Structure 1
Amino acid sequence: MVRVVEIDAPRLCSFHYWGTPVIHVQNSSQLRNVDISPVNQSGILSYARFSLPSIAHNVESLTLHSGRSENANTPMLPSKLPHLKNLKISLLEPWLSPNYDVFSLVSFLDASPALESFILRVEENAMVHDPVVGDDTEYRRKNLDFRNDSLRKVMITGFCSAKSLVELTIHILETTHSLERLTLDTTYGYDRMTCNIGKLPTARMIGKCSSLSKRALEEAHRAVETADRYIKGRVPSAVQFEVLGPCPRCHIGK
């Protein structure tokens, strides 16, 4: 079994690795695109936060998939990814520990002053969903010394009522003055794949959305309620805000 991957390729600009995330990279000045998908390995998000600033300092596009178990929160560190512009993180089911605090992903945002686009994909059943209860102020974390003046687009696919996810969304809104668009997709990306309603209202209907289980539909409706209650009122007027709920054409009456 491969335990360590050592790379010495001065012209390497893209790196997609699926395996044990113990990577040593020399001469990485040209490395711009990194995609890491671990196999049977825990703590990939913490590993990436610790290691990438040194092994891929100039990375501009980064994609991470949670590994076998993310039971340790992503740490806040002083190291930076100064050139990172596009960040995609996937929280996979069933590997995400219920003890993992999704709010700790703010560490990546803090480390990336040039970040322009952030996509967070949360798979169904990856997180414990919370009831839509509690005062509005309960969904705010203590202010961190963090501000991003470059982030323009944020999309969360699989947005749900999990409190830590709501807190992360609120934190992004309150600390990102450059934000232009925030999209919350409550259907895990499965809806509107073949039906154009919602995204392209004037387009021709070409089929039906992928089916959603009764539980997924209930959770999607709860997520829409959560966004309306805790997020909508915090969105600045200059920000394009969209919540994608279950397709009204394909899931009517369900």
Structure 2
Amino acid sequence: MALLPLQRLLSLRRGRRRRRTRARGTSIVAKRKGSPCQQGDSSQDGKRMRFSGPDLPMDVWHHIHSLLPMREAARASCLSRAFQYFWRCYPNLTFSKSTMGLNEPKSPFHPKWTDGQNFVLVNRTDQIMKNHLGTGIKTFTFQYYGSCFDTSKLDTSKLDSWLQIAVTSGVEKLEISLSLGYKSEHYNFPCTLLFSRSGGNSIRGLHLSGCAFRPMAGLGCLTRLHLYCVHITEDELGCFLSNSFALEELDLMECSDIIRLKIPCLLHRLSKLDVESDREALKVIENKAPNLRTVSISSYVAHHSIGDSLRVKDLEMHCSSEFNLVHHVCAKLPASMPNLEILRISSVGEMFSVPSAPLKFLHLKHLDIYLDVESEAFSPNSDYFSLVFLLDACPILENFKLELMHARMKHVSVLEDSSHLRQMPGLCHGNIKKVEIIGFCSAKSMVELTCCILENATSLECLTLDTIAFGTENDDVDASSLDIHKSGSKCLRIGRHMVAEAHRAVLAIERHIAGKVPSTVKLNVIKPCSRCHIVKQR
């Protein structure tokens, strides 16, 4: 609601000539003692600037102006001299092609588009930053994405000057995302700016991507550190972390120079860790931070200990190169992370079934398992039904989600095997309230898993069985999946084998599951689309 007066004013005055008439009861003093907008004031002594708008104090107008999106704030500066001062004091500066109004080219293979857009982006950024010299910048974000066609080449000395303006003005959040494209070396972040007397004592969030970061000390106020494709050695990072005592979040992605991540015990406030390394560079995580609560690991190191993790409550694990992650979780995690409450596992290959007597997750309430069946996760030698042992190891579990990524079902179908379904009475699933299976198939072991949950989950409220999963069989796409509905929407492209399996899954639900669902449980069956997912006879 606070923006309505300013928006109304902008709509009335846009496209009109600025009139200098005295409006009833409205004036803004352009120069006020203690105002951050005094710098760059070109008004004469004692003169006041008037415009037709609500009678509000100058600091209120300044605050309203700061809430506008950046492009709208820049446009508003054309209305009056007062708004020009507000624009020069605008605190949240984000420079990218989108904020500069540079639409992406229809084809990325247009060198003129790349050169022209980057040239405009750099020049507009340079002009705006020079006008903000000496003002209070709270957020500075610069995104530059070159390509092999880009011949304009970013003048990094300009970026150095912008960073100096931002840092010396007391910036709180600093984000630099670069992809220079035309050369292999990275931009060397000017660390001397951060550790000088007038340096980054106010920085709370530091986000760097595509550059080299060689810190020589830490930042006392830093609470969030995000490094993506950044060149920094493990010793440099260790020194930086050891002197950044206020750090709460640490996010490292594709920092290939780090082999052994060492998190010092001095980081008492560190509660969130996110590590991703597809190149298998990271081998070991030595964590000594005593209050780590949330951990996300996408790396080979997912199979190894992450040090002091007794207080971890939220864990996400993914390993793109190692098999049997689910089996590893059942065998190792209950002892190393006994206080887990949320667990998400993404496995690319399970060659073994879940052990029949795994250790207990006594505090686990939410369990998500993602299986990439195309990468042989839960191959026919394994067994979906064995997951009941994992559920039994979670006595207070409330929500269970199982998601499969497959284009062909490789297990024995329940429609082809007339033998009795296996049962496992007496399991402890009493607290489960919600179960969701995405990519439900007609595999007999999948049907047995679902029936076992229905028999033992006495508190179950909702069961969702989604028979559609989205695989990667691009050469086997059913053309009917491209049909467009009258509403304008369309189904995603899936293979014809998956379409056929989805129809078999629906039949398996009708024959073996629907009749066993208690009246207190809501059953949601997501079936193939009647228009797009049609089985064609060949």
1:14 aligns to what?
294
5+ residue gaps, structure 1, are 191-196, 198-203
Q: CA deviation at 1:82?
A: 1.1
Q: Give the percent of matched residue pairs that are identical in Structure 1 and Structure 2.
A: 38
Deviations 1:23-78 (A, max 9, x none): 324443431110100131121111100111012111111111113x3111111235
Contact 1:129 1:160 in 2 (8 A): no
Whose Rg is larger? 2
Distance 1:22 1:189, change over 3 A: closer
Q: CA deviation at 1:127?
A: 4.4
Q: Map of 1:1-254 to 2, 5 A cutoff?
A: 1-20=281-300, 21-67=302-348, 69-92=349-372, 93-96=374-377, 97-125=379-407, 127-131=409-413, 132-135=415-418, 138-141=420-423, 143-188=424-469, 205-251=487-533
Return the TM-score normalized by structure 2: 0.42
5+ residue gaps, structure 2, are 1-280, 472-484
SS of the residue corresponding to residue 171 of structure 1 reads helix
Q: What is the rounded CA distance, in whole Å, between the counterparts of 2:384 and 2:462 in structure 1?
A: 21
1:200 aligns to what?
none
Q: What is the rounded CA distance, in whole Å, between the counterparts of 1:133 and 1:18 in structure 2?
A: 38
Contact 1:33 1:60 in 2 (8 A): yes
Contact 2:496 2:535 in 1 (8 A): no
Deviations 1:222-248 (A, max 9, x none): 000001001011110110001111122
Q: What is the rounded CA distance, in whole Å, between the counterparts of 2:417 and 2:303 in structure 1?
A: 42
Q: Which segments of structure 1 move beyond 4 Å, counting only runs of 4 or more?
A: none
Identify the structure with the greater helix proportion: 2
Contact 2:284 2:306 in 1 (8 A): no
Kindly provide the amino acid, as one letter, of the partner of residue 514 in structure 2. Answer: K
2:9 aligns to what?
none
Return the TM-score normalized by structure 1: 0.86
Distance 1:241 1:25, change over 3 A: same
Kindly provide the amino acid, as one letter, of the partner of residue 71 in structure 1. Answer: M
Contact 1:94 1:125 in 2 (8 A): no
Q: What is the rounded CA distance, in whole Å, between the counterparts of 2:535 and 2:451 in structure 1?
A: 31
Q: What is the rounded CA distance, in whole Å, between the counterparts of 2:305 and 2:352 in structure 1?
A: 23
Larger relative contact order (C-alpha < 8 A, sep ≥ 6)?
1
For these two proteins, the number of residue pairs brought into alignment is: 240
